[in-house]
Structure 1
Amino acid sequence: MAAKSGQTVDLTTLPIQQLNQLSQQLDQSFFTNSMNQLKLAQGKFVESQECLNKATPDNLNKDILVPLTSSMYVPGELSDVQNVLVDIGTGYYVEMTIDQGKDYFKRKVEFLTKQIEKIQPIMQEKYRMKQAVLEVIQLKVQAQIAAQQQASTAAKS
């Protein structure tokens, strides 16, 4: 295991308390949350991209449900199948053609896919390091128990 100064530290030389602290530091909650948020955003962009496929001349002036929130919809009518308003973040909307919108969502999905691919190896490495620390903790605890049992049997004799 590498220390901050770039030196290698033998885990078996660390006391159990330091190993526990190291295990807590290797907790993946930050990376897991980041990964989940990236996948959620990616899913929303994919869904938006798929919705643009339904804006066809065949659906012009047809009744639709317009989402106000993720669980509340109002009735509406599809009046324009050439242009859409795309939320580009922080309350800004840009009018785009359907093809421009599809391209925008495609770029967003590709960007998020690359970010996910960057985080996955880090998560896997942190998981491997945590597993190694937990194995050493388990070995040290077993060694302590064995030593205590030996001491108690030696005291009884």
Structure 2
Amino acid sequence: MSESSQPQQVNLAALSLEQLEMVKEQVENEIQTLSDSMLQLKHAATKYLEAKEAIQGLAGAEGKEILVPLTSSLYLPGKINCKDKVMVDIGTQYFIEMDLEQGQGFTNRKVQLIQDQVNKVQQAVNVKRNHLDQIIQVAQQKIQLIKQQQAAAAKK
């Protein structure tokens, strides 16, 4: 990675209060975006964990009656007739037939991959929060300095 792609360091003390406020809003928006992404990742991980539990529930379930979801609100009755194979959505509505062990391995790998991404996003959020704290601290120092200057001018 070249140095030009690295974020540039800004001397916060050199910025005006208005500029600090703009930078603060930008960092807050970035934190919100990252937090939203983290929630979406956690939701996806939950879906894969649910799929894993469903696969586990299929062991020894041949002939068992179930409700098959056609949409989020429409279910039809059905029977499990193949106890050792599952159809796994590998992404963008592509399905692959796998045995139960392969299906569980797939869901485990996906959950781990998502958890790794959640950890990376969490680290980015922590960095952004540290930046936000620094911005707020500099802004408070500037406000305090302005108040001191105004008090000194009022005494004259």
TM over 0.5: yes
Offset at residue 101 of structure 1 (A): 0.7
Equivalent residue, structure 1, for 2:26: 25
Equivalent residue, structure 2, for 1:141: 143
The whole-number CA distance in structure 2 between the counterparts of 1:9 and 1:140 is 16
Equivalent residue, structure 2, for 1:125: 127
Question: CA, structure 1 residues 147+45, in 2 after alignment: closer, same or farther (shift >3 Å)?
Answer: same
Question: CA, structure 1 residues 135+103, in 2 after alignment: closer, same or farther (shift >3 Å)?
Answer: same
Equivalent residue, structure 2, for 1:14: 15
Gaps of 5+ in 2: none
Offset at residue 71 of structure 1 (A): 4.5
Offset at residue 47 of structure 1 (A): 0.9
**1:60 partner SS:** coil
Q: Which moved more, 1:139-148 or 1:96-105?
A: 139-148
The whole-number CA distance in structure 2 between the counterparts of 1:5 and 1:109 is 30
The whole-number CA distance in structure 2 between the counterparts of 1:49 and 1:5 is 40
Question: CA, structure 1 residues 40+7, in 2 after alignment: closer, same or farther (shift >3 Å)?
Answer: closer
- The alignment's TM-score, normalised by the length of structure 2, stands at 0.83
Offset at residue 136 of structure 1 (A): 1.6
Paired-residue identity, %: 35
- The alignment's TM-score, normalised by the length of structure 1, stands at 0.82
**2:111 partner SS:** helix
Residue 46 of structure 2 is aligned to residue 43 of structure 1: yes
The whole-number CA distance in structure 2 between the counterparts of 1:144 and 1:133 is 17
Alpha-carbon RMSD: 2.4
The whole-number CA distance in structure 1 between the counterparts of 2:114 and 2:95 is 20
